Amino acid sequence: MLDVCSCAQTSNGVKIFIDSADIEEIKKYLDAGLCDGVTTNPTTFFKLGIRGEDIKKKALEIARLINPRPLSVEVTSENPKEIYRQAKEFSTWALNIAVKVTITDSRGNSLLSVINRLIREGIMVNVTAVMTFNQSILAAKAIHEGAKSSDAKKPHFVSIFLGRIAEEYGIETSFNVVKNFRGWLDLYKFDDVEILAASIRTPENIEYWGRAGAHVMTIPPEAISKSLLSARTKETVAQFIKDAKE
């Protein structure tokens, strides 16, 4: 197992996780001070042609690069026994691996029992595919109870898919899910749970959901790159350079 330190839970302001398995993109944002962690899923690996045993190799490469920041790696089963087996295996790869587990299976059956068990056994978990306030608080309760029974003090995450909520119910609903959930966590002092704003697609998403109260935003590189662009900034810089030469 990769020898790394435990992931710190404290942070000044909102954290940014890079939603990518592309090493060069991750390096770029590490160098810029914009990478507090990385999230992956089967789709991000598939887009880069990474399959099978190559996923482990790539995960180890990313984990070393971003140590001690967390790297989320998703299980590829919805069977609780297989989820548990995969999660235990993934957690041996590096100490900064957070195992992504969906809150339910594709039939709507809860996976909170296996999530709670993993946390009790000291594994960092990212509960993903969360769409509602009710799902959020139930996931937080499962995490909190598991963390109380574990000696491993690690952050755990609830990933709310804001882009998908906005598509179905509107952007105000997506904003309120995060805002209300953050208020609930603060009220009951669930300090072992961090809200992860996921399914961010545009600079407008970053601006809007960055004010909603999430602890973390997981952002694809293309959305970060677009957020840095402004025609007026480019014009101003060009003017500065022109004037300096003259």
Which residue has 């998703």 as its token pair? 74
Which tokens is 187 given? 């009220």
Q: Which is the catalytic residue, given 28, 47, 56, 100?
A: 100
Measuring CA to CA, which residue among 174, 95, 187 is closest to residue 144? 187
Beta bridge mates, 127: 101, 158
Is residue 234 part of the annotated active site? The answer reads no
**Are 125 and 142 a contacting pair, CB within 8 Å?**
no
**Are 206 and 227 a contacting pair, CB within 8 Å?**
yes
Measuring CA to CA, which residue among 76, 92, 77, 86 is closest to residue 40? 76
- The rounded distance, in Å, linking the Cα atoms of 63 and 67 is 6
- The rounded distance, in Å, linking the Cα atoms of 133 and 181 is 6
- The rounded distance, in Å, linking the Cα atoms of 140 and 149 is 14
Helix (H, G, I), strand (E, B) or coil at 10: coil
**Are 26 and 62 a contacting pair, CB within 8 Å?**
yes
Looking at residue 13, what DSSP letter applies?
S
Would you please indicate which residues are annotated as catalytic (active-site) residues? 100
